[in-house]
Structure 1
Amino acid sequence: MTQVFNGQPSSATNRASPAKADAIVSLQSVSKTYENGSKALVDVSLDIKRGDFLFVTGPSGSGKSTLLKLLYGEERANQGDVLVDGCNLTTLRGDRLSQLRRRIGIVFQDYKLIPRRTVMENVAFVLWAQGLPRKEIHRRLQPALKMVGLVHKADCFPDQLSGGEQQRVSIARAIVSTPPILLADEPTGNLDPDNSWQVIKILKKLNSVGITVIVTTHDESLIRLSNHPTVQLRNGYLYRPKG
């Protein structure tokens, strides 16, 4: 079960406490303030177990995207420690950070597909970047496309797909390297209700095979339908909603 602590006095020092044995993600008294003085996160502590599915909700500007960026090292915490799959991102740099990112799948709201590449090429791109041999890339492509129901669209280009299909391509790209963690930042933000639910069902299926899934969203109806644990960010503070 995900554990959340908010606004409580912390005994954290400059040295991170070890994450709980079954926690794949651990934020320990984490604060993030941008150069303009905006406080994105304030004293956030959160433990997520391996195999959890967690929704992070809250209004625009509440800190949801910042939290995910801290988890894959695009942003750095000003205070506290961020531990992901045994690595402390507070100090991780260079090749070691790159290696960690290979163990994290990321799905964005705006898909980030390469327009002049086919579905198959978009999904394979991350494997090419990792230097995998052609045979291994081919072996991984089919299961990833099958998981998102797009085997029949493998040779299509992004502009030949619906928005829901494009998002499913981005999910396939995120999971083709079989990461233990999947981060999805407002993955249904540009989709209608039917396509949104299709995306959530795919994420639930991925979670059922052991992938830890963390999803930011402001769609309360999806959260209710999904019946997964939820935490809420408001003005940078983390809460567990009542009920």
Structure 2
Amino acid sequence: MSSYFKINEHYFKTWTSEMAYILGFFYANGNISNHQTILFSHYEKDILEKIRHKLDSNHPIHQDQKTGLYNLHMNSQFIKNDLFNHFKMVTSSSKEAEFPSVPTLYLNHFIRGYFDGKGHIYKSGYLIGFDGGSNAFMQELKNILTQRSFNTKLVTSEKQYQVYISGINSVNDFANWMYKHKNLYVKRKYELFHYINHEDFNLINEKNMSYRLKKVQ
């Protein structure tokens, strides 16, 4: 018996808060093959299950036994065309990626999706960061965050770019803005924001946090 897989072929044609989140998540951790395969990857299986549900898909989620990474592969020529044609889609790891034109109403949802894919909460001080491979994408991300009065900085390294938000007020204000009217989100990352103001923040067991935690020197 052949397997039947389904997906909402028109999902990315209409802006919603959930669509904006999934699009941001895809910019961070997604990939499109030369054929019509769309790939979402993350260490949190739960968020991939929620994304699959929103896309009305029944495609399987597989875990790479070597890396622990979960992968959701879905096939859709229509979605691939929409991502290329409407958003000029290349993922943020590409040097050619550009920040898409996101309606203001959905901007915090898009950035929350991107943060859940390529955002980090640091153990020392009040600092969070985003990673990306495109100067244009990361510069526009910095501009958007700066316009909202968050204390931001763009840092260039040999292989990628980082946008940082620092300071207790900026980090807290950013979290409040990013999670406003939240729908989809990575639960552990959301909960970690609650530890930022606690004295025992540096004592969090890193092994129990499956996403990356860095200690700033």
TM-score, with normalisation over the residues of structure 1? 0.28
Q: Which structure: greater strand fraction?
A: 1
> Which protein, 1 or 2, shows the higher relative CO under an 8 Å CA cutoff with sep ≥ 6?
1
